[in-house]
Amino acid sequence: MEKTAIIPGSFDPITNGHLDVVARSAKLFDKVYVAVLNNNSKSPLFSAEERVELIKRVTGDFQNVYVESFSGLLVDFAKSKSASFIIKGLRAVSDFEYECQMALANKNLEGDIETLFMTSSPNYSYLSSSIVKELARHHAPLENLVPNEIIQDIYNKY
Ligand code: PNS
């Protein structure tokens, strides 16, 4: 049976840390869906459509990676793609408590879907979309933090 995984997140914007998790997951699963949360209440920097476009731009080389936005429950999106796995990157212990809560809530909603945690590569362990936005707001360099192809799109927002 085909193994399909979902990598969910806000991705506002995608970072090299996210991309690392996508690249490693693409080697482990037949199909990987990057699922972009379309959540208007969070007032993101990039619209869901823009975030999907940026992620598609930087994942174009992966034949088995698909990018879509979703709203509502993650497990419903996973079921709609016949995915049995949710992949979450863990940067540090501080991520664990929240991620563990989410994993248990999702397990309670849909027992057949497993959340798997992937330890982030050490060079990305401090990296987050919030840090990227803070640096961009101060016109600091973004090389090595986000893919080069999207740096200008981020600066253009400020
Ligand atoms: O990048 P983020 O903001 O940490 O991602 C959070 C995300 C998208 C994984 C999470 O908010 C989510 O799954 N939202 C969808 C609603 C849902 O299914 N929540 C879990 C049950 S409470």
pLDDT, tens digit, for every residue of 17-58?
A: 999 999 999 999 999 999 999 976 778 999 999 999 999 999
- Taking 70 as the threshold, does the pLDDT of residue 74 lie above it? yes
Q: Mean pLDDT over residues 81-98, rounded? A: 94
Quote the pLDDT of residue 93.
Answer: 86
Arithmetic mean of pLDDT, 90-95: 89
* Structure confidence at residue 105 (pLDDT): 98
Atom 6 in ligand 1: which residue has the minimum CA distance?
A: 9
Q: Average pLDDT, stretch 62-74?
A: 97
Which residue, 59, 50, 68, is CA-closest to 24? 59
Domain count, the chain: 1
Classified as helix, coil or strand, 19 is helix
pLDDT at 109 over 90: yes
72 Cα–ligand 1 center, Å: 9
Q: Whose CA is nearest to atom 7 of ligand 1?
A: 9
CB-count exposure of residue 33 (10 Å: 0-12, 13-18, 19+): buried
User: 21 lies in which domain range?
Assistant: 4-156
Question: Is there a catalytic annotation at residue 129?
Answer: yes
- Which tokens in the block code for residue 11? 């991705």
CA distance 83 to 142: 33
Is the pLDDT reported for residue 94 higher than 90? no
What mean pLDDT do residues 131-136 have? 98
The CA 9 to ligand 1 mean position distance, Å, reads: 6
- Find the 117 Cα to ligand 1 centroid distance in Å: 15
Q: What confidence tier does 1 reach under pLDDT thresholds 50, 70, 90? A: confident
From 10, 25, 88, 91, active-site residue = 91
Is the per-residue pLDDT at 7 higher than 70? yes
**Residue 10: predicted pLDDT:** 96
Q: Tell whether pTM > 0.95.
A: yes
The Å distance, Cα 136 to ligand 1 centre, comes to: 25
CATH number at residue 32: 3.40.50.620
Best mutation site among 10, 33, 38 for ligand 1 pocket (most ligand atoms within 8 Å of CB):
10
